[in-house]
A and B are shown apart, each in its own frame.
Chain A
């Protein structure tokens, strides 16, 4: 349904199997990648969300369509928090006073479950190959969930000759404004 790195079909399976299979499938994903789980067990939604948070994965959300639940989970990062390296930053709360464009570098599924209306989506992993979509003369405000991916994205843009780049801190996890959804 939404873009994901891997799909797991757990349709027709009863609890505990959707979580058991998801746990196993997550071991094949790289950190930051998104798994799409198809399930028909209604209880899988609450259980996957609770399980994901208990083991450090990010439960992105669930879409329900014709009795099938599509769950999206992003593999967590257990590494310690690293210092943000990109120096040009702007506070999230000041974002609406700025012009330019907002670049959302989270995964497509995360973007679909809620983003700032005018933000453009280019997932971090695709950024290097899609630079021509961006305008070097425009101010670019890079945002992700916490500020970590956007830090790396801002560095990547700077390395490629973009000068008017700002990392937005913190990220979407503290955004209280209107969310636009694609689901």
Chain B
């Protein structure tokens, strides 16, 4: 039997199209429990590769005959070994090229909407990590929001669309992933905006993001306006695009809300978070479509793979927007927090420009699931 090599892009398609897949994950039990490739119709078996060194015969009965089988490990090497052993045992299997490392870094660009006068809004879905970035393109100009560190993806995408990157925004100083924002700006000559309140310790130049800042993209003037919305961080800022879309950053997600503790100031910021979610956003039009900077679980994906929901619907369905009692809200976002993201303190330092890890170190820091939310 042959062993085939699948790319992260191919698996991303299977996730979005809700295809079936059987994943044999040969990483450590701890690594698997912490983080895996999520799919609506994926089945899993986790057997560490080092338990298969003497042969795969023992697990053959656990592998389905009627489904595609993908062997996954951290970097690829072990999955190739196990896939070849399975192949010799007469099974047809594939392995993930580059392993979970490549899955963590893959971005799937999906068109989220058409804007005024031929403008387009793209959502870049980082399925392996739950990060969402955005690009607005209008008449040869582009603006990028919350870019992750794979700067080439954004720069090449804009190039393919014939657009020049003019503005790069970060809604806040990220703690769960390394921002590509200022690097894209440096490479393309674009403005890089960051909320001043979050950037006090930043060691690079940026354009301060202020409340009600207005930026026009393209000749048809797609409108991007900033809305100060603190809580996840003290500087967290949202963006209104074309008066139809609301980029909420890490303040409001589809099925959860932001956590206020990643800069160590949960107690101080919980009031801001409450004000943003229960007052500032409340005053906005219910028909705005919320586009967050993260998704938490695969069930949040729409049919076309985007992550987007009407603000009015979130006020009905999102538990975090429906905690009437203020004391209970405070408890929810300070006491019942999930574990903090991997290396979040270091990642903040990197995003302030104080640490400059190499590519491999950046990958290590970002390993594992996203944990920016409270449900």
Q: Chain A 36-65 against B: per-residue CB contact (8 Å), 1 yes, 0 no?
A: 000000110011001100100000000000
B106 at interface by CB-CB < 8 Å: no
- CB neighbors of B among A9-39 (8 A): 14-17, 19-20, 23
Distance in angstroms between the alpha carbons of A142 and B28 in the assembled complex: 37
Closest residue to A43 on the B side, CB-wise? B74
CB <8 Å contact, B78 and A16: yes
Among B46-54, B215-223, B305-313, the one that faces the other chain is B46-54
CB <8 Å contact, A47 and B48: yes
Distance in angstroms between the alpha carbons of A46 and B78 in the assembled complex: 14
B75 at interface by CB-CB < 8 Å: yes
Distance in angstroms between the alpha carbons of A50 and B29 in the assembled complex: 9
> Which of chain B's residues have a CB closer than 8 A to the CB of A50?
28-30, 48, 50
**Size category of the binding interface on chain A:** 10 to 19
**Size category of the binding interface on chain B:** 10 to 19
> Which of chain A's residues have a CB closer than 8 A to the CB of B132?
none
> Which of chain B's residues have a CB closer than 8 A to the CB of A16?
49-50, 53, 77-78, 81
Q: Chain B 35-74 against A: per-residue CB contact (8 Å), 1 yes, 0 no?
A: 0000000000000111101000000000000000000011
CB <8 Å contact, B77 and A17: yes
B288 at interface by CB-CB < 8 Å: no
Chain A interface main SS type: helix
> Which of chain B's residues have a CB closer than 8 A to the CB of A17?
77
> Which of chain A's residues have a CB closer than 8 A to the CB of B78?
15-16
B364 at interface by CB-CB < 8 Å: yes
Distance in angstroms between the alpha carbons of A23 and B81 in the assembled complex: 15
Q: Chain B 71-113 against A: per-residue CB contact (8 Å), 1 yes, 0 no?
A: 0011101100100000000000000000000000000000000
CB <8 Å contact, B364 and A42: yes
CB <8 Å contact, B48 and A51: yes
Expressed in whole angstroms, the minimum distance between the Cβ of A68 and any Cβ of chain B is 15
B298 at interface by CB-CB < 8 Å: no
B31 at interface by CB-CB < 8 Å: yes
Distance in angstroms between the alpha carbons of A85 and B294 in the assembled complex: 62
The 4 closest A-B pairs by CB, nearest first: A51-B50, A16-B78, A15-B77, A19-B50
Of the A-B pairs whose beta carbons lie under 8 Å apart in the complex, a sample of 26, sorted by A's number, is A14-B77, A15-B74, A15-B75, A15-B77, A16-B49, A16-B53, A16-B77, A16-B78, A17-B77, A19-B49, A19-B50, A19-B53, A20-B53, A23-B50, A43-B74, A46-B31, A47-B28, A47-B48, A47-B50, A50-B28, A50-B30, A51-B48, A51-B50, A51-B51, A54-B48, A54-B50
